[in-house]
Amino acid sequence: MSRICVIGTGYVGLVSGAGLADFGNSVTCVDIDHEKIDTLQKGEIPIYEPGLKELVDRNVSASRLAFSSDVETSIQNAEVIFIAVGTPTGHNGEADLAAVESVALTIAKNLNSYKVICTKSTVPVGTGARLEQLISENSTQEHEFDIVSNPEFLREGSAVKDFLLPDRVVIGVSDKRAETILRDVYRPLFINETPMVITNISSSEMIKYASNAFLAVKISFINEMANLADKVGGDIHSIARAMGLDGRISSKFLHPGPGYGGSCFPKDTEALVQTGAQHGVQFQVVQAAIEANKTQRQIILEKVRELIPDMQGKRVAVLGLAFKANTDDVRDTPAVEIIQGLMDMGAEIRAYDPIAAANMKKNYFPELDCRSSVNETVEGADLVIVLTEWNELRGLSLKEFKSLVKTPNIVDARNILSVDQLKEYGFNYRNVGRSSV
């Protein structure tokens, strides 16, 4: 069992800290945000993630997991320190490492014994070397330490499962002693024969960006294929299914929609392009995916105009605000740009999301009219637009739905509604890659 300090109790830090505790380690999650720590100490979870509260409660009860705002003491007491603070997009698209570097300086001042310092935050290649330099130059005592890169691959909505049962664990090291310690931290996964990729730090840092960029490219690709299918009468579901049956391609992330969003893909693709530029490498494919993703949101608005050319004074019901189902995360959600576009057209917006409505009002549209049910939201609407693939929206009764709306116009930007039923009940509809089917 290792004594671990996880610095940062955001999405990555909280899930990782609770998961590491579940592996039998003694974990203290720390944060300079006293309000967040007070919330966690009361047993409340500040983010929505299925299964996370149960995981936290289980390990707090077993005395393996604790929360503290005393960062310095927690660092001093730890053998392994995980850095899990935010790396938002900077002014030019590069990753802003201010929080990571601030943590490194705090570690340097509290380095009282040998420690393994591990980056969970998504950071550009070269960050490990930068942290080693910062800590070495600012340490007040002569103690050895090792930098390790251990990127996370947590999908919002299934992060707990992803941490406890991962596809792989990537560990970037430059020292055998640090590798041995990290293997012990993840010992239950070694026993379960989870694939472990042990590599150098630079490779590890690149793996996270490479993975997210590839998936972003895949999403943008299938969206462009869907746009063509709309023009020529193709069915993107059939196309994607046939593509996915090819083992070289697989079916994952071949789901067309309004474009990717969230906390990872948008900022990581931008950061990778900027890192490439700094080293004289052009990421033309990734840049194209970024541009295609921006265009996709405008294409959804074009579908709205096809149904109602003049939106002035029209009531639009927006179903779904989170960037994906099973999360309350609205960072870079397509809903922001689409709602703003509808407002610019003069539309009156009503919105519904089972989890993310409060975050949308807090971060983007304070005056947004958010309703507590689907029926209340769509009643009297001139147009309905589906933007998040919540399960409750998949099961909508379109017969009842039609009796509530003023005009049966619908843009299903997630392709979760039955085309046959849309036709049966007389809806004027647009999908993504199925509008002509």
Residue 371: both structure tokens together: 């309703």
% of residues, the chain, pLDDT over 70: 100
173, 199, 225 — which closes off a domain?
A: 199
Q: Are residues 59 and 181 in the same domain?
A: yes
pLDDT tens readout for residues 91-104: 888 999 999 999 99
Domains in the chain: how many in total? 2
pLDDT of res. 56: 98
Residue 191: inside a domain, yes or no? Answer: yes
- Compute, in degrees rounded to 10, the torsion defined by CA atoms 4, 5, 6, 8: 170
Q: Are residues 162 and 126 in the same domain?
A: yes
Which burial class, exposed, middle or buried, applies to 277 when counting CB atoms under 10 A from its CB (0-12, 13-18, 19+)? middle
pLDDT of res. 46: 93
Q: Are residues 149 and 125 in the same domain?
A: yes
pLDDT of res. 39: 96
What band does 437 get if pLDDT is binned at 50, 70 and 90? Answer: low
Query: Which of these is catalytic: 5, 29, 118, 264?
Result: 264
> Biggest alpha carbon distance in the chain?
76
Q: Are residues 238 and 290 in the same domain?
A: yes
Q: Are residues 226 and 127 in the same domain?
A: no
pLDDT tens readout for residues 139-193: 988 899 999 999 999 999 999 999 999 999 999 999 999 999 999 999 999 888 8
Which burial class, exposed, middle or buried, applies to 232 when counting CB atoms under 10 A from its CB (0-12, 13-18, 19+)? exposed
Containing structural domain, residue 108: 3-199
In sequence order, what are the residues at sequence separation of 6 or more whose Cβ sits closer than 8 angstroms to the Cβ of residue 367? 361
Q: Are residues 153 and 296 in the same domain?
A: no
Between 1 and 317, where is the model more confident? 317
Task: Work out whether strand 115-119 and strand 80-83 pair parallel, antiparallel, or are unpaired.
Answer: parallel
Interatomic CA distance for residues 8 and 6, integer angstroms: 6
% of residues, the chain, pLDDT over 90: 95
Q: Are residues 173 and 280 in the same domain?
A: no
Q: What sign has the CA pseudo-torsion 159, 162, 168, 169?
A: positive
Residue 151: both structure tokens together: 């990127």
Task: State yes or no: is 5 an active-site residue.
Answer: no
Q: Are residues 216 and 319 in the same domain?
A: yes
What's the mean per-residue pLDDT of the chain?
A: 96
List, as one string, the DSSP characters of 372-407: SSHHHHHTT-SEEEE-S--HHHHT--HHHHHHHSSS
Q: What is the DSSP letter of 147?
A: E
pLDDT of res. 91: 81
Cα 17 off chain centre by: 18
85 contacts 120 by C-beta, under 8 angstroms: no
Q: What is the DSSP letter of 149?
A: E
Residue 206: inside a domain, yes or no? Answer: no
Interatomic CA distance for residues 229 and 231, integer angstroms: 5
- Arithmetic mean of pLDDT, 74-81: 98
Q: Are residues 406 and 363 in the same domain?
A: yes
The answer, yes or no, to whether residue 436 has pLDDT greater than 80, is: no
- Arithmetic mean of pLDDT, 2-22: 97
What band does 380 get if pLDDT is binned at 50, 70 and 90? Answer: very high
Q: Report the CATH number at residue 261.
A: 3.40.50.720
Q: Are residues 232 and 177 in the same domain?
A: no
Residue 319: inside a domain, yes or no? Answer: yes
What band does 252 get if pLDDT is binned at 50, 70 and 90? Answer: very high
Q: Are residues 181 and 219 in the same domain?
A: no
Cα 353 off chain centre by: 17
pLDDT tens readout for residues 89-142: 988 889 999 999 999 999 999 999 999 999 999 999 999 999 999 999 999 888
pLDDT of res. 142: 86
Residue 435: inside a domain, yes or no? Answer: no
Length of the chain: 437
Phi, psi (deg, nearest 5) at residue 250: 70, 160
199, 231, 265 — which closes off a domain?
A: 199
